[in-house]
Amino acid sequence: MTQTPPETIYLADYTPPNYLIDTVHLTFRLAPDATRVISRIQFRPNPKAENDQFFLHGEGLTLISATIDGAAVTPQPVDGGLTCPVPNAPFVWETEVEIDPAANTALEGLYMSNGMYCTQCEAEGFRKITYYPDRPDVMAVFTVRIEGDAPVLLSNGNPGDTGKGWAEWHDPWPKPAYLFALVAGDLVAHPDAFTTSEGRQVALNIWVRPGDEDKCAFGMDALKRSMVWDEEVYGRAYDLDLFNIVAVDDFNMGAMENKGLNIFNSSCVLASADTSTDADFERIEAIIAHEYFHNWTGNRITCRDWFQLCLKEGLTVFRDQQFTGDMRGHAVKRIDDAIVLRARQFREDQGPLAHPVRPASFVEINNFYTATVYEKGAELIGMLKRLVGDEAYDRALELYFARHDGDAATVEDWLAVFEETTGRDLSQFKGWYELAGTPQVRVSETWENGVYTLHFEQETQPTPGQSDKVPMVVPIVIGLLDETGVEVVESHVFEMTESVQSTSFNGLKNKPIPSILRDFSAPVSVHRDTTDAERTLLLAHDTDPFNRWESGRILVGQTLAKMATDGASPSTQMLDALLAVARDDTLDPAFRALVLSLPSQEDTSASIAASGRVPDSLAIHRAHETLRQAIAQHMQDILPRLYATMQIEGAYAPTAVDGGKRALGNTVMRLLSQLDGGTTAQAQFAAANNMTQQVTALNCLVEIDKGADALAAFEAQWSHDRLVMNKWFGVQVQMAQPQHAAQVAQRLTEHPQFDWKNPNRFRAVMGALAANSAGFHSEDGASYDLLADWLIRLDPINPQTTARMTAAFETWKRFDVDRQARIKSALNRIQSSANLSRDTGEMVGRILSA
């Protein structure tokens, strides 16, 4: 048990900083277990301060000396930092502290990865480097000197003087401490250059460990495309002479947007045809863009406090989604985004971890880097854009950048620029930031005297700490089709603002078929009783690609839920509808692949739970296998030819077009292995000249329990490559038969390459276990126990990664009493482990309070 209950921080308690900073000089004397950090900080009293108390954050620092205006002082240690009497006028504060990067396994602050020094300061890691007002509304100009024997010494901003064993850096743009970064190590650069629309010559580098140079070209190309895109679409040009990206193996998340020195988890930047899948390439491109786009949405305009996290994250995710859509096609991107939102954010909203896009309180802010803040946060931007229109959105953004450049801003500031540009009152819209939960929209229809009316009702279930919900503004894009599938009313936005509301259509000859929530125009769940015939018609004819896919998804999803609960069989009508999509060569292969892939078992479990029943994970697993078998049989005549036509001659290219063909080919291969015992997958595995083909074949073989030889061959081929080996670890656990999943994961933790302190490797095994729905929820509770054991072991060395992975248990209330009891006891065991971190303590406490 944690000794004193950790403090809860409230948005309502925000007060401005008492002291502001003009300039900071930092000197680092690097040594693995005794790095000295000397700071010289020019403070001045904040005219907006509410009192004159001087407080600096600091954690795990050994204070060597402190002075004010050159005179020695003795600061008083207080909880979380120090305090000291200071002059009521500008003053210079200097300290020297000692820290131990080699012992820093939490990967927050200054730490070491493979002998290389690196930092991660967001959200509150800078306080582990030196004493400082570690809050985003204190922005300062940083000058940094690094002394150390590493060949490469990097920090933010533009390079300054350099000599043997030292380098200086100056960042002219005021920034909060969370954007500080330092890297020192034996690194090689993949260099390039870019000239901005303003004529600035920018040197670009991707820094990697020697040996990884050949995996940088794609990331560099993605960076340059991102730079062009932000100039063309948002009018935002880069503002330093240098932009560095560094790849690091030990990293708690994907990447970090430090000013001029982005640090990346190596899995999110290193790419090559041999070692990366199409999905990896797309993810790498999106993350490079995301971090680059933060330069304006996050860095030039930052957040006043951590409650405003969505201000930078929601907007930046929205921007990276737009970018990917422009690069790779909007239809498929929108479907992909909706799949992710539903799988992660709707799941969050349905359980004990539900929270608003802008939370009102937290214990540990790192626990709020969530799908709600990021992905739902991005949906709010999309809704706003749809409500005000594209042109007004552009004007509002212009005003936002002009007015708030250099500011630490709030959600209120953001909404105000839209209100001022459009004259629209956004007070109801603000509810989307403040209320948790997914609105459930129920739709019914009437057809009377030639008037067709759609009736809508919205309701949001209570979420933790929020029992009363009010209606939201929901932009619902609607179109109407006639019974032959011809569109009779084009897409338009119906703005729902009340709990109950209707919209009518005149002048129609016959009762139409509605296509509702086109383009997934709001993060809500739509419920409408309709026939399979209507769904089939929409799947065949809807002009909106999202709803076309959605109709198929509902047909299949409802079938799976019925199969798993009532033992029903798939209807011929549904199988025919899927067959029609499969053989329609006019459709984009990537789109066909999406229609032909089943929803995840987790999706089926969630939808059964949403209908008030207890999901049986094993029955769901069997239903998925049975349906895949039925689809394969129904399509057996066309599958071999379809597979053949999707094969690509010549060199691999990570393009959307080729990737779409591979996606469809691989979906077909998975169906074929239901019929051919894996011969197609075996042949593909043997012949593959790229990782997409190789690892999807491996997946297939493991799924049908014929993976032993391929796994051995894969391990022999790739044991030298840590990123590829993560795939090898992951696939065995995720595709394991449910009854074996825990045992497979347990066995892999004994593998010599299971480096559990590396977050990527830990997630490859334990994340895959949680993602194997039936295996994780196996009746004996073995997976719960195994995950709990490992989280208890990891927490003392890495609280962030531990806390994040506890979300595997967030759905526990869905299950039967036996499983609930087993999960609860696993959670209790975590909660009562000695010295539990604040991070994990908060998460487990919230999950248990369900």
Smaller CB separation from Zn ion, 18 or 316: 316
45's tokens:
């009293």
Among 122, 278, 282, 349, binds ligand B3K (CB under 6 A): 122
301 binds ligand B3K (CB under 6 A): no
C-alpha distances in Å from residue 632, one per residue of 24, 568, 643, 674, 676:
65, 18, 12, 7, 10
370 binds ligand B3K (CB under 6 A): no
What is the footprint of Zn ion within residues 254-313 (CB under 5 A)? 313
Residue type, 747: R
Give the number of residues in contact with ligand B3K, rule: CB under 6 A. 12
Selection from Zn ion, ligand B3K, none that 727 binds (CB < 5 to 8 A by kind) is none
**Residue corresponding to tokens 């798939």:** 570
123 binds ligand B3K (CB under 6 A): yes
291 binds ligand B3K (CB under 6 A): yes
Q: How far is the CB of 119 from ligand B3K (least distance, A)?
A: 12
* Part of the chain binding ligand B3K (CB under 6 A), chosen from 231-239, 249-257, 376-384, 569-577: 249-257
Smaller CB separation from ligand B3K, 255 or 598: 255
Binding mask 255-284 for ligand B3K (x = CB under 6 A): xxx---------------------------
674 binds ligand B3K (CB under 6 A): no
Binding mask 582-621 for ligand B3K (x = CB under 6 A): ----------------------------------------
Cβ–Cβ under 8 Å, residues 443 and 456: yes
Q: How far is the CB of 427 from ligand B3K (least distance, A)?
A: 28
What gap in Å lies between CA 550 and CA 369, rounded to an integer?
28
Q: How far is the CB of 369 from Zn ion (least distance, A)?
A: 9
Selection from ligand B3K, Zn ion, none that 145 binds (CB < 5 to 8 A by kind) is none
337 binds ligand B3K (CB under 6 A): no
Selection from ligand B3K, Zn ion, none that 472 binds (CB < 5 to 8 A by kind) is none
Selection from Zn ion, ligand B3K, none that 364 binds (CB < 5 to 8 A by kind) is none
Q: How far is the CB of 324 from ligand B3K (least distance, A)?
A: 15
Q: How far is the CB of 739 from ligand B3K (least distance, A)?
A: 36
Q: How far is the CB of 108 from ligand B3K (least distance, A)?
A: 8
253 binds ligand B3K (CB under 6 A): yes
C-alpha distances in Å from residue 426, one per residue of 311, 412, 420, 431, 432:
16, 10, 10, 9, 10
Provide the 10 A C-beta neighbour count for residue 653: 12
Smaller CB separation from ligand B3K, 320 or 602: 320
DSSP state letters, 216-237: -HHHHHHHHHHHHHHHHHH---
Selection from Zn ion, ligand B3K, none that 369 binds (CB < 5 to 8 A by kind) is ligand B3K
Max Cα–Cα distance, the chain, nearest Å: 89
To the query of whether residue 291 is one of the catalytic residues in this protein, the response is: yes
DSSP state letters, 489-556: EEEEEEEE-SSEEEEEE-S-SS--EEEESGGG-SS-EEE----HHHHHHHHHH-SSHHHHHHHHHHHH
Q: How far is the CB of 321 from ligand B3K (least distance, A)?
A: 13
Smaller CB separation from ligand B3K, 212 or 257: 257
What's the DSSP call for residue 11?
G
* Part of the chain binding ligand B3K (CB under 6 A), chosen from 253-261, 562-570, 585-593, 624-632: 253-261
Of 801, 798, 838, the closest CA to residue 103 belongs to: 798
DSSP state letters, 303-361: ESSGGGHHHHHHHHHHHHHHHHHHHH-HHHHHHHHHHHIIIIIIHHHHSTT---SS-SE
Cβ–Cβ under 8 Å, residues 455 and 529: no
Smaller CB separation from ligand B3K, 122 or 842: 122
Q: How far is the CB of 256 from Zn ion (least distance, A)?
A: 8
Among 249, 250, 313, 658, binds ligand B3K (CB under 6 A): 313
Binding mask 202-241 for ligand B3K (x = CB under 6 A): ----------------------------------------
Selection from ligand B3K, Zn ion, none that 669 binds (CB < 5 to 8 A by kind) is none
Q: How far is the CB of 191 from ligand B3K (least distance, A)?
A: 24
185's tokens:
């190590």
Smaller CB separation from Zn ion, 298 or 738: 298
Smaller CB separation from ligand B3K, 230 or 542: 230
Q: Which residues contact 423 (CB under 8 A, 6 or more apart)?
A: none
Our separate counts of H helices and E strands in the chain read 30, 31
Selection from ligand B3K, Zn ion, none that 256 binds (CB < 5 to 8 A by kind) is ligand B3K
Smaller CB separation from Zn ion, 177 or 560: 177
What gap in Å lies between CA 284 and CA 268, rounded to an integer?
5
**Active-site residue, selected from the candidate residues 257, 291, 313, 375:** 291
CB contact burial 451-487 (16+ within 10 A = b; e otherwise): ebebebbbebeebeebeebebbbbbbbbbbbbeeeeb
Selection from Zn ion, ligand B3K, none that 822 binds (CB < 5 to 8 A by kind) is none
775's tokens:
């295996």
Cβ–Cβ under 8 Å, residues 489 and 514: no
Strand bridging mode 242-248 / 261-265: parallel
What is the footprint of ligand B3K within residues 621-640 (CB under 6 A)? none
Provide the 10 A C-beta neighbour count for residue 425: 9
Selection from Zn ion, ligand B3K, none that 342 binds (CB < 5 to 8 A by kind) is none
Selection from Zn ion, ligand B3K, none that 443 binds (CB < 5 to 8 A by kind) is none
What is the footprint of ligand B3K within residues 125-164 (CB under 6 A)? none
104 binds ligand B3K (CB under 6 A): no
What gap in Å lies between CA 776 and CA 762, rounded to an integer?
16
Q: How far is the CB of 639 from ligand B3K (least distance, A)?
A: 41
What is the footprint of Zn ion within residues 304-363 (CB under 5 A)? 313, 316
> Nearest 5°: phi and psi at 495?
-95, 110
What gap in Å lies between CA 711 and CA 742, rounded to an integer?
18
What gap in Å lies between CA 326 and CA 347, rounded to an integer?
28
Cβ–Cβ under 8 Å, residues 379 and 322: no
Q: How far is the CB of 170 from ligand B3K (least distance, A)?
A: 23
Q: How far is the CB of 287 from ligand B3K (least distance, A)?
A: 8
* Part of the chain binding ligand B3K (CB under 6 A), chosen from 19-27, 78-86, 248-256, 631-639: 248-256
Q: How far is the CB of 260 from ligand B3K (least distance, A)?
A: 15
Among 156, 265, 321, 366, binds ligand B3K (CB under 6 A): 366
364 binds ligand B3K (CB under 6 A): no
What gap in Å lies between CA 575 and CA 555, rounded to an integer?
10
121's tokens:
């300061």
What gap in Å lies between CA 573 and CA 579, rounded to an integer?
10
Provide the 10 A C-beta neighbour count for residue 47: 7
Selection from ligand B3K, Zn ion, none that 122 binds (CB < 5 to 8 A by kind) is ligand B3K
What gap in Å lies between CA 790 and CA 395, rounded to an integer?
51
376 binds ligand B3K (CB under 6 A): no
E strand spans, 74-157: 76-78, 81-83, 91-99, 109-113, 116-120, 140-147, 152-155
What gap in Å lies between CA 303 and CA 687, rounded to an integer?
51
Contact positions toward ligand B3K, by CB under 6 A? 122-123, 253, 255-257, 290-291, 294, 313, 366, 369
Contact positions toward Zn ion, by CB under 5 A? 313, 316
Which residues carry out catalysis? Answer: 291
